[in-house]
């Protein structure tokens, strides 16, 4: 079996109507576009975690690292630090990135390492059949919380802004054109970029109608303005029923971890250097 084009022979097992299709189709389109603009496909590495989202790497005929739950970020960082010329794109679920792996996300943002994180935020655990996640609304009745959750969701964009992320955006799975636009900007952004995609799980938490009623695209928004970004990010807190802004909230030019980290490769005779060092010991 030979792999052809951007698709693979893997059988797609997402539920019909799953929001993941929008992300898959958008990223395919963006990567093809970037390829025609001169970015060689072999320089892209896709990393995923565990959950429905993670199957995306099986469906894309590109370099990939199908990782484990919560650990997309450190893997992506390792690949990027090994070869800063690679474009590393991480896909993670909300349980994955905002739950199990939240520490890594905070540190990656703090380092401003040049990777792109796309979060399939369906606000429910799908593959484990319907439990609440860090972004489920208060009172969410899942299989582990039949009486409803008693904790508020986190606002991941606010957390990421506070942690030092230099590109923050939100899209939905009912809006592929906007997703394409955002994904491309996120990938081309130099520094840590995170896109929170309100990706709908049709089986366990169907929010299409809810989102469709409330989403709007940000206009007249100065993306370089931290305060404006914070205000807009706080407008919808993943719990209230207010309108939900989509688009790029924040973008800042800043030096990256790998630029500042000493990566100078020296051509050396290791044996000679070890012997020299031993002479001093």
Partner 1 sequence: MDNFSILIGGQAGFGIDKAGSIIASILNQLGYRLYVYRDYPSIIRGGHTFSIIRASRKRIATHQNKIDFLLALNQDTVSFHRQRLKDNSVIIYDSDVAKLEAEPTTIKAIEVPLTKIIKEEKAAEVMRNTCLIGAFCKIAGIEWNVIENVLRKNIAKDIDLNLKVAQRGYNEVAEVTKIERISQSSLPLLTGNEAISLGLIKAGLKTYIAYPMTPSSPILHFLAGLAEDFGLKVIHPESEIGVVLMALGFTYAGEKVAVGTSGGGFCLMAEGLSFAGMAELPLVIIVGQRPGPSTGLPTYSAQTELHFVQNAGQGEFPRFIVAPGDAEEAYYWSAMALNIAWKYQIPAFILSDKNLGEGTFNFDMDAIEGIKEEGAILWDGKSPYKRYLVTENGVSPLAFVPEKEAIIKVNSYEHDEFGITTEDPQITNMMQEKRLRKGEYILEELKEYKTVNIYGNKNSSIALLCWGSNKGLCVEAAENLSLKVIQPIVLSPFPNEEFKEAIKGAKKLICVENNATGQLGRLISSYGFKVDEKILKYDGRPFALDELEDRLNAYLKKVL
Contacts with partner 1 by CB under 8 A lie at: 1-3, 8-10, 40, 42-43, 45, 47, 50, 55, 57-58, 61-68, 71, 74-83, 85-86, 103-104, 106-107, 261-268, 270-271, 273-275, 277-281
- The DSSP secondary-structure symbol of 146 reads T
Q: Which is nearer to partner 1, 117 or 246 (CB)?
A: 117
Name the 3-class secondary structure at 18.
coil
- Min separation Cβ 10 and partner 1, Å: 5
Residue 128's Cβ-count burial label (10 Å; 0-12, 13-18, 19+) is: middle
Rounded least distance, CB 29 to partner 1, Å: 19
Nearest to 91, CA basis, from 19, 159, 163:
19
Our CB check for partner 1 shows the closer of 101 and 137 to be 101
Question: Cβ 130 to partner 1, closest distance in Å?
Answer: 21
Q: Shortest Cβ distance from residue 275 to partner 1 (Å)?
A: 7
* Cβ 9 to partner 1 shortest distance, Å: 7
Dist CA 199 CA 21 (whole Å) = 9
User: Minimum distance between the CB of residue 45 and partner 1, rounded to whole angstroms?
Assistant: 6
Q: Which is nearer to partner 1, 9 or 226 (CB)?
A: 9
CB atoms within 10 A of CB 36: 8
CB of 220 or CB of 265, closer to partner 1: 265
Nearer to partner 1, 69 or 180 (CB): 69
Q: Which pairs count as long-range contacts for 61-68, CB under 8 Å and 24+ apart, including other chains?
A: 61/3, 61/4, 61/5, 61/6, 61/7, 61/8, 62/6, 62/31
Nearest to 177, CA basis, from 29, 73, 49: 29
State the minimum distance, in angstroms, from the CB of residue 104 to partner 1.
6
d(C-alpha 101, C-alpha 71), whole Å: 6
Select 10 or 242, whichever has its Cβ closest to partner 1: 10
- Name which of 204 and 257 has its Cβ closer to partner 1: 257
Of 143 and 275, nearer to partner 1 (C-beta) is: 275
Q: At what angle do helices 156-163 and 102-111 cross, to 10 degrees?
A: 40
Taking alpha carbons only, the member of 32, 192, 67, 58 closest to residue 118 is: 192
Query: Least CB distance from residue 149 to partner 1, whole Å?
Result: 26
- The helix or strand, by DSSP H or E, that contains position 236, with its residue range, turns out to be none
DSSP 132: -
For residues 38-77, one letter each, b for 16 or more C-beta atoms within 10 angstroms of the residue's C-beta and e for the rest, the string is eeeeeebbbbbbbbbbbbbbbbbbbbbbbbebbbbbbbbb
């Amino acid at each position: 079996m030979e792999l052809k084009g951007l698709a693979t022979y893997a059988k797609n097992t997402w539920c019909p109507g799953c929001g993941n299709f929008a992300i898959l189709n958008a990223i395919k389109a963006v990567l093809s576009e970037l390829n025609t603009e001169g970015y060689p496909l072999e320089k892209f590495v896709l990393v995923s975690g565990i959950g429905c989202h993670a199957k995306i790497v099986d469906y894309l005929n590109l370099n990939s690292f199908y990782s484990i739950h919560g650990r997309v970020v450190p893997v992506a960082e390792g690949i990027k630090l090994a070869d800063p010329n690679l474009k590393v794109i991480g896909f993670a679920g909300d349980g994955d990135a905002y739950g199990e792996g939240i520490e890594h996300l905070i540190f990656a943002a703090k380092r401003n390492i040049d990777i792109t994180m796309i979060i399939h935020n369906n606000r429910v655990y799908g593959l484990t059949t319907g439990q609440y996640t860090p972004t489920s609304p208060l009172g969410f009745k899942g299989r582990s919380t039949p009486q409803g959750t008693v904790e508020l969701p986190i606002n991941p964009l606010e957390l990421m802004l506070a942690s030092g992320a230099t590109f923050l955006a939100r899209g939905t799975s009912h809006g592929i054109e906007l997703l394409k636009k955002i994904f491309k900007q996120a990938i081309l952004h130099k520094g840590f970029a995170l896109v929170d995609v309100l990706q709908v799980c049709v089986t366990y938490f169907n929010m299409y109608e809810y989102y469709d009623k409330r989403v709007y695209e940000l206009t007249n928004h100065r993306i370089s303005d931290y305060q404006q970004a914070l205000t807009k990010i706080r407008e919808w807190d993943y719990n209230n029923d207010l309108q939900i802004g989509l688009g790029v909230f924040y973008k800042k030019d800043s030096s990256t971890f790998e630029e500042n980290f000493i990566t100078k490769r020296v051509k050396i005779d290791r044996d000679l250097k070890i012997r020299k060092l031993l002479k001093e010991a």
